[in-house]
Amino acid sequence: MTMRRLTTCSLLYGASVLLAASAVLAQEHGYTPADIENGSRLYQSSCAGCHGPTGDMVPGIDLMRGQFRRGSTDTEIIRIIQTGIPGTTMPPSSFSDTQAGTIVAYLRSLAPASGRAGAGGDVPRSDIVKGKALFDGKADCAACHRVNGNGPRVAPDLSDIGAIRQAKELHEKLLDPNALVRPGNLFLEAVTKNGETITGRVLNQDTFSIQLLDSHERLRSLSRSALRDYRFVKSSPMPSYRDKLSAEEMNDLVAYLVSLKGLRP
């Protein structure tokens, strides 16, 4: 019996201030690939039961994006792994300093600023500027996507895409838009009993209704009983950039996307 209820199952969970310190700044130790691999095993066997395989199953906590509430340094996080958090369901463990350190190494390796998520800090500023120009101009991404409060809501908001996607994934997505459609970015085509066809991004659904944002950015709540037919659109409305951008342009665009880390406190 695993994961019956997760009401308060919480590593690093509490009321203290969110310390979204850069994972790079917070990293005090050097890690080897073997550390990360060992940490991955320990995480999956001992932590994922409550925190989930991707570290975000406890509300307000996202371990793999470096969002911790109770500490930011490696030493602090190692101590929390070892001693638990009294008054919560985060239990103490008998991990040694080395073992707990490998779990931290694993989490750090997945944090967006660590390099795994993209070229990050190594990319020349000029490439990012060129990428933004492509985003707004030639590639015309801004016709559908919103960034930091500007642009339409028809396609997913990309304000923090660099924090949740790796450069490799973004490349792949630009070449093949049907790859890697995240839950929450699904499009639905519905035909009402009046014959109206509505296409939009699904915001929520339940047994009796569907809420979506239609192609005119209108929030629509559709009663299922008023629909003649509806289907999830398998293919993404986004065009492929395979033949539209050069390899260099593609790199610049990805550099810009990777630089979008979201508006965080």
- Footprint of other proteins (CB under 8 A): 1-9, 41, 44-46, 48-50, 52-53, 57-60, 84, 86, 89, 91-95, 183-186, 202-208, 232
Give the C-alpha distances (Å, rounded to integers) separating 260 from 8, 19, 40, 124, 147: 31, 19, 27, 15, 8
User: Is residue 66 within 8 Å of 112, Cβ to Cβ?
Assistant: yes
Nearer of residues 73 and 82 to other proteins, judged by Cβ: 82
**Which 8-state DSSP code applies to residue 19?**
B
Burial readout 159-195 (b: 16 or more C-beta within 10 A, e: otherwise) = bbbbbbbbbebbbebbeebeeebeeeebbbebeeeee
Smallest gap, in angstroms, from Cβ of residue 89 to other proteins?
5
Nearer of residues 30 and 87 to other proteins, judged by Cβ: 87
Smallest gap, in angstroms, from Cβ of residue 69 to other proteins?
14
Nearer of residues 85 and 133 to other proteins, judged by Cβ: 85
Helix and strand tally (H, E) in the chain? 9, 5
Beta strands in 42-149 (DSSP E): none
Nearer of residues 73 and 230 to other proteins, judged by Cβ: 230
User: Is residue 39 within 8 Å of 105, Cβ to Cβ?
Assistant: yes
User: Is residue 12 within 8 Å of 71, Cβ to Cβ?
Assistant: yes
Smallest gap, in angstroms, from Cβ of residue 225 to other proteins?
11
Supply the Cα-derived Rg of the chain in whole angstroms. Answer: 21
Smallest gap, in angstroms, from Cβ of residue 224 to other proteins?
9
Smallest gap, in angstroms, from Cβ of residue 160 to other proteins?
17
Angle between helices 167-175 and 247-259 (to 10 degrees): 130
Nearer of residues 107 and 255 to other proteins, judged by Cβ: 107
Q: Report the alpha-carbon distance of residue 258 to residue 150 in Å, rounded.
A: 18
User: Is residue 157 within 8 Å of 216, Cβ to Cβ?
Assistant: no
Smallest gap, in angstroms, from Cβ of residue 216 to other proteins?
20
Nearer of residues 194 and 207 to other proteins, judged by Cβ: 207
Beta strands in the chain (DSSP E): 187-192, 197-205, 209-214, 219-223, 227-233
Smallest gap, in angstroms, from Cβ of residue 250 to other proteins?
29
Nearer of residues 37 and 217 to other proteins, judged by Cβ: 37
Nearer of residues 44 and 150 to other proteins, judged by Cβ: 44
